[in-house]
Structure 1
Amino acid sequence: MPKQDHGGPVPIEAGGRTVEITSPEKVMFPGEPEAPGRAAGRPFTKLDLARYYAAVEEPLMRTVRDRPTLLQRFPNGVTGKSFFQKRIPDSAPDWLETTTVSTINGTESRAIVMADLAHVLWVVNQGVLGFHPWPYRASAPDDVDELRLDLDPSPGTTFDMVREAAHHVRDFLTEVGITAFPKTTGNRGLHLYVRVEPGWDSFGTRQAAIAVARTMQERHPDLITGEWWKQDRGERIFVDFNQNAPHKTVFGAWCVRSRVGAQCSTPFRWDELDAIHPDELTLATVPARVAADGDPWAAIDDAPQSIEPLVARYRADLERGIPDAPWPPVYPKMPDEARRVHPSRARADG
């Protein structure tokens, strides 16, 4: 098969640098197929992707600037194979900012730091479709400044149920004096972000997320669950507290998801919650939203918040004899954690 001609490099000015987008006409997203009541979506190229990020530069950089970022590469577009690039190669340009990140087990790697739009465009040119920023700034690695509440729909649930769960979580956070900022995931769930004041680490934010999950399950047991074991969740919305565990990353705000329709993980205002449709928020439609309405997260950095009210609930549970929630299997056993097996198996093993 002859090699396809994807066109000559296209230079884009960004961050005081010129970044060349090679193979600009390479199709990264084929577009949604035609379906009853829906016309086929148009394909999007690598150049389209680069221009999208240039169009949302200001709100994007507000969320990702100075953050170490895990990259998910799709060299042949969204329909091809992908891999997570955990280490920036030595062949990267010398202006690229990087930092060392470490897993809880001590494994280190060299990660990109999203210093400006030029860094974003450099990774786009590598075929990156997924940005997964760490919840701290490279300039302050000991201060986790984002509590990330992942409302994860279980099989059998609907997006209306996710919306309802988000309303309840917001109401609870408001009770304890905490403001959250919502975004779509680019798929079926929602993420709620809280900007956290300095002095907290990922153990603290995970404990806060556990407190939210447990409180929501207590108040709305038919709708929301904090059960780690999938067989116990039922058709409920899972508050995935372990997305806040050390070295965990979450799909970034304003980033384009690896879906054929190029859906974006899009911040929105709370008064839009009942009308927002994630599938309609795409590389083609989101820039116009930003141009018309501005950044819904413009105030996220204005007042970093204490998560002490949530962590206090977690600590009170420990004092009552309720152990830490289960950790993912790749993590070492934690001091306050019960046996990391499903309770039914623990009883059987006796």
Structure 2
Amino acid sequence: MQHFLWGKVVLVLVAVVAVLQVVHLILLSRLEARHHHHDDQSDQLASAGNEGPISVAVFAEDHDLSEALWTIVGLRLCYSAIRHNVSFQLVSPLPAGGRPPLSVPQDPAHPCQLPTPSRSEQQRNYAGSRRFPNNLLRNVARRGAATEFVLVVDIDMLPSVNLRQDFYDFAVKNRLFTESHREDKTVYVVPAFEVRETVPVPRHKAELLQLADQGHLRPFYIELCWKCQVHTDYEAWQKEPPSSGVAPLFEVLWKDPWEPFYIARNSVPFYDERFKQYGFNRISQVCELHVAGYKFSVLNNGFLVHHGLKTATSFHVNKDMDQERNRMLFRQFKTELRDKYPESSRRCY
């Protein structure tokens, strides 16, 4: 009996040490990313293209927590660019009955052999046991970012090559980092597209336009909610010939239910964390930007791409229920904005 108890104590101590090591690595990743950013921000931004500070919020339920922790450790150990540029923020629900013990990988000596998710796991989307806190994750990631400007995107979106460097050059040229521009209320819209999985993701606007002409690429969400993106005015954007760098092409007045992706100062209003699962989570935040007096300026060359076409069959079975629940919350949210911005004449409709 005594040997059994000592065995359990040893196992618990091993688990505690493993958890502390993982937590240490995650905290170290945040410190290194911030240090790497602040040490020589100008040189880094001027030379790194799209390889720069990234803040990643990871959501892991109880049964996924060990895998998430060890995957983060593996990524940091095996890829120097991730170790230097990426900070990880781990979000996990607080269990009612206590946290189950974390497991150690069967072969921790080879952390670079990361598991590849199965096709079914990739398509789970919001079909977990808990309501997915997407807006909470967006806020956590933003709070973990050390940069003045941020581009908030979902993990399955890829930016065009040199988008970060091109925007930095534009910001420097237009003195956006100076104190006199800190209160400027402009967000810079990055048009989003979706491309067939059978073709490579376009790197530049010329490649994107060619894929669009061939029928392999289309505006993001055009099949599911064309009004959610149509106000970006893709037709006008695609008529503009590719050029070097990025610059504002035209401004767009927000209209319900437009939910563009954009680059903005990290001081813009945060996302409302009451919105979970599917529906109205990004629209609500962009709606608040509109009421708060922000203007939307579409960039001429930069873009985002989702690899794979968005179709109705790619969502979880309770999508419509989630959307209806959040629709009611959105109505309440719009009413609350009137009290939050009493001097604004703008409304979300």
TM-score by length of 2: 0.29
Asked which structure has the greater RCO (Cα within 8 Å, sep 6+), the reply is 2
Query: Hey, which of these two has a bigger chunk of helix by percent?
Result: 2
TM-score by length of 1: 0.29
